[in-house]
Structure 1
Amino acid sequence: MKRQVKHFLNLRDRRFQEHPTFSFTAFNLIQRRSILLQAKLKVDKASFQTVADDIAATSWDAIQAICDRASKGEHIVPQNDDERRVLRLMRQVKVLTSKVPGSAASKASMRNEIRGLMMTKGMPSWYVTVNPADTFNPIVQFLAGSDIDVDNLLPDQVPQYMPQAMLVAKNPVVAARFFNIYMHAFIKTLLGYAPKSDSQ
């Protein structure tokens, strides 16, 4: 599905790029699928058998009842043994989503990786914040199909903030392409690193 969505967003016809909800809907579907395929459940080793027995004995009706009350913001008081079992499982079972991009667990995993690198390699001696300003860069207009010569840009062709901001809001795919090109150029030119897979 990722390849299909990428194909649609790379078409010369910009109907998918500029569609107000296509990108959000496609990302939502991809994210949900990733969670279903890669999320894992974690329990303490000592309570594994108890948790397994509770999962096997829990009815779907009890889970649905708890979900309905939770979605309404109600204070959940178990009405029977089944619902008490569901609440106990909610306390004992943890969901791991560190392999799902964009999830809170994924961000925490990346932060831990940075901390690990600092422990083994030392604190960074050089720090820079890169800020590709897509609302002022003419490359964004060029990627959006404007007939301009980026190498010989005239003063009156320098993008103004509001029209450029509207362009980025209307077509976020163009902004993403610009960011990708900009970061590849920064890494290759200033850091001197150009992986073989670099297609830019």
Structure 2
Amino acid sequence: LANLWNEGREGGYAVRHSRRPVNDFGHPQSFGDSPPEAPEENFFEKAYPYLFPYGCGGIEASRPVIVEFRDHVKWCLQYYDRHFRLNPTFSFVIFGISQRRQALAFARIQMKRRTFEADARILSTITVEKLKKAQDEEDANQPISDPAVRLLRQHIHATAARIFGSDQSRYQMRSQVWATSVSLNPPSLWITINPSNLHDPVTQIFAGENINLDTFLKMAGPDKEQRAKNIAADPYAAAKFFHFMIQTILRTLFGVEVTRFQVKSKCGILSRVSAYFGTVE
């Protein structure tokens, strides 16, 4: 807390940024026989005092029974009063941390490959000039000529392809789609399903509005302005509605039922579906 003095008088107060980076990597790990390091202050308890007003109970905080990051986040987003998911930054910070951990985990897998030491020696020859030249070649729609830059790009694509929501993961799925089309043969249907979360009363139920489905009306619920505010304030409700509608359409129209451990297919309006890919734009 810093006092902003103004001409010898007491001024306002401001909170300074710390010079020490915050650790958001979760539980400390022990290596070999050495005990784990002493836990640091929990990031979520300090960053979100409104969500954790007693300064305890944060995600991956020290507790007798370890709760995994994914399970605790799921509990927070499904909490009954919705104050976690209504926070304007909580969901996005969680998603960013999850993506970063995925990237680091898969980068570690890449580093354990037998060829990585030889690749590292090649990668160490990359200079700024080589990267600029590769950028110019890509801008001109030409293949990259430098083998070290090509190797770097290969490692980046291999790591990022396993990260949810990355461009490389979409490239990989595109290849799988084409391979499936070749393997199973036509006909193939390319369908865009775009449920409207802004005007659907089901979305408003997920967002906390009290709507009686026994007397269901098409325009039941609040007016359009309030509906827009509800969706903007609760992105989890919009995502849950989208997931619910897609699963319902797949099950009722196409006979595809997706469970946690398997995918079942039965006869639908297009007979039995051999395979399907669902991507989110």
The alignment's TM-score, normalised by the length of structure 1, stands at 0.71
Aligned to 1:78: none
Which residue, out of 164, 176, 179, partners 2:242?
179
Aligned to 2:214: 151
SS at match of 1:32: helix
Aligned AA (1:21):
T
SS at match of 1:157: coil
CA distance in 2, matches of 1:169, 1:19: 11
CA distance in 2, matches of 1:123, 1:159: 46
CA displacement 1:49-90 (0-9 Å, x = unmatched): 7544467xx6xxxx9xx7xxx9xx9xxxxxxxxxxxxx9855
Which residue, out of 218, 232, 241, partners 1:169?
232
Contact 1:98 1:106 in 2 (8 A): yes
1:91 Cα offset (Å) = 5.4
Aligned to 1:36: 104
CA distance in 1, matches of 2:225, 2:239: 18
Aligned to 2:194: 131
1:181 Cα offset (Å) = 1.4
1:125 Cα offset (Å) = 4.1
1:191 Cα offset (Å) = 0.8
Which residue, out of 253, 269, 281, partners 1:190?
253
CA distance in 1, matches of 2:186, 2:250: 20
* Aligned residue pairs, count: 170
Q: Do residues 27 (structure 1) and 95 (structure 2) align?
A: yes
CA distance in 1, matches of 2:78, 2:175: 34
SS at match of 1:115: helix
Aligned to 1:99: 162
1:100 Cα offset (Å) = 1.0
Distance 1:163 1:100, change over 3 A: same
Contact 1:98 1:109 in 2 (8 A): yes
Contact 1:137 1:159 in 2 (8 A): no
CA distance in 2, matches of 1:155, 1:114: 36
1:150 Cα offset (Å) = 2.2
Distance 1:89 1:126, change over 3 A: closer
Distance 1:180 1:155, change over 3 A: closer
RMSD (Å), alpha carbons: 3.3
Distance 1:92 1:26, change over 3 A: same
* Percent sequence identity over aligned pairs: 28
CA distance in 1, matches of 2:218, 2:88: 32
Distance 1:120 1:154, change over 3 A: closer
Q: Which runs of 5+ in 1 are unaligned?
A: 74-86
Aligned to 1:81: none
CA distance in 1, matches of 2:171, 2:190: 21
Aligned to 1:115: 178
Deviates more, 1:175-184 or 1:151-160: 151-160
